[in-house]
Structure 1
Amino acid sequence: MTIIKQAWKITRHDFRNNPYVMLWTLLFIAYLGFTMSFAVSVQWGERGNLSPVADFIMLALIPFLGFIYNRRAFKYLQEDSYTHMLAFFRTLPIPMNAVIMSRIQQALLAFVVNSVIFFTLLFTLSATFRVYASTGFFVSFALTWIGYGMLIQAMYIHLEFLKKGKSYFWISIVIMLICGIVTIIVRVCGANLVSITAFYSKEWQLLSPVMWGALLAGILAMSVSYRVTQRKLMKRDLT
């Protein structure tokens, strides 16, 4: 059995053991999409007018589209649930790289399903997007940010497998702070990331170099995360 097949078996087992997890996940993502639709209002001719709050929300929250919001995700700080999960899997005749691959599979599935909900609500409820958006724009804009989300999600996956709950929490806070710093720097430079990505998506649609660059960066990040995490996890003490 290949690693991918073993990983898929773990993934299916997780979903079967948590039959309502996708419902809660989709409800949470719908809330994010509803909230974000009021934070984003792009004016194509004036790319600097959009509030930097929209940038921060997108930078901070888009990676969370790659999560399945099960009990493990909510209890990582109180119970160090990720470490306990790894300790359990080490007692089973399952290679750890299959466990890592399963987590990546779940992230990709989450991005597909959650992004449909999130971006559909964003485009439906945002008056500006409704006026200017085409199918090509919709797909290009969504894939651009999904690529970014995969890049950051790869970091979160790495942290899940290699850090205890408290360390994971504080590093996550640092990532949020970095998102804030990036937002401020971009604003000081007179630019806006949401407007820029929207501009390229509108002008280039599925040929957008920003979209393809973001997707490539996300795929490479997932690949690097898998390999580095696999190597370091073998040395991690789970006691």
Structure 2
Amino acid sequence: MQIVNHAMKIVSKDIKCDKFLWLWTTFFMLYMAISFSFLINRQFEDHEFFNPFADFLMMMVSPMMGFFFSRRSFKYLSEDSYTQMLFYYRSIPVPTEAVILSRAFMGLSAFVLNGIVFFGVTYAIASDLRSYMDLAAYASFGISWIGIGILIHGLYIYFEFMSSGKAYFWFTILLMFIFGVIMLGLIFVSGFRISLFGYFVVASYKWKLLSPVMWGSLALGLTGYILMCRLTYKRMRLRDLS
């Protein structure tokens, strides 16, 4: 319980120190939602859901829903702000468990806020999507992608705590490259017949909030997230910040 109290104090401090955190986060997600809504709606115009390019787009945007966009996140490359944060918490009596727990909590909270904004705005704009999916089916579709986003975001947390700002930047570039290679591989192997996007659409349309795909994605995402946070905690204690 004491670790949880320490973690909540860190969360409270981070929010108070950056008064525009909620504003920047909401603004960025609004921008992403408006931009992606037209691309997502296009998949529903002719009911052509099995498109690996849609997978690539959602694989990029879904993990980003786990971020609150603050001064620290904007300056990670120029000032190595995440390493500075760790150095600060090591200089004061704050348990390492509390630091990683606070980050895990902030990530899940961001997924709730950003998921509502992103998928809500997309649903409001994408008319062809609305005509195909009712709200329950679309909620299942959104939660399915949030599960994937949570799973991938665990990797972001690991490199956020375990690397310098420059290394973290190159990790994000590498991750996008890997997603691109996977997309091209699916196109080459299946000829646009295999797509996670399409699989989620079909499952959500058929089962709505009872979709085993949705619950499986969420369970997989949370399990992977917890395991990556535990691994980050174990490795973080050994990291040399000098």
Q: Secondary structure at the match of 2:92?
A: coil
Question: Is 1:211–2:214 an aligned residue pair?
Answer: yes
The one of 33, 47, 51 aligned to 2:49: 47
Q: Secondary structure at the match of 1:94?
A: coil
Residue segments in structure 1 that go unaligned for 5+ positions in a row: none
Q: Contact 1:160/1:168 (CA < 8 Å) preserved in 2?
A: yes
Q: What is the TM-score normalised by the length of structure 1? A: 0.94
| Identity among equivalent pairs (%) | 38
1:125 alignment partner AA: I
Who is 1:236 aligned against?
Answer: 239
| Greater Cα offset, 122-131 or 29-38 | 122-131
> Deviation at 1:45?
5.2
Q: Contact 1:42/1:195 (CA < 8 Å) preserved in 2?
A: no
1:218 alignment partner AA: G
Who is 2:127 aligned against?
Answer: 127
Who is 2:62 aligned against?
Answer: 62
Question: Is 1:165–2:184 an aligned residue pair?
Answer: no
Q: Contact 2:49/2:201 (CA < 8 Å) preserved in 1?
A: no
| Deviation by residue 1:176-226 (Cα, 9 ceiling, x = unmatched) | 111112222233312232222111111111121221121111111121112
Residue segments in structure 2 that go unaligned for 5+ positions in a row: none
Counterparts of 2:94 and 2:5 in 1: how far apart (Å)? 12
Q: Contact 1:36/1:54 (CA < 8 Å) preserved in 2?
A: no
Counterparts of 2:136 and 2:241 in 1: how far apart (Å)? 47
Aligned pairs, how many?
237
1:181 alignment partner AA: V
> Deviation at 1:5?
2.2
Counterparts of 1:28 and 1:16 in 2: how far apart (Å)? 20
| Deviation by residue 1:85-108 (Cα, 9 ceiling, x = unmatched) | 000000111101101110111111
1:60 alignment partner AA: M
Give the 5 Å matches for 1:144-223. Answer: 144-188=144-188, 189=190, 190-223=193-226
Q: Contact 2:63/2:149 (CA < 8 Å) preserved in 1?
A: yes
Q: Contact 1:158/1:225 (CA < 8 Å) preserved in 2?
A: yes
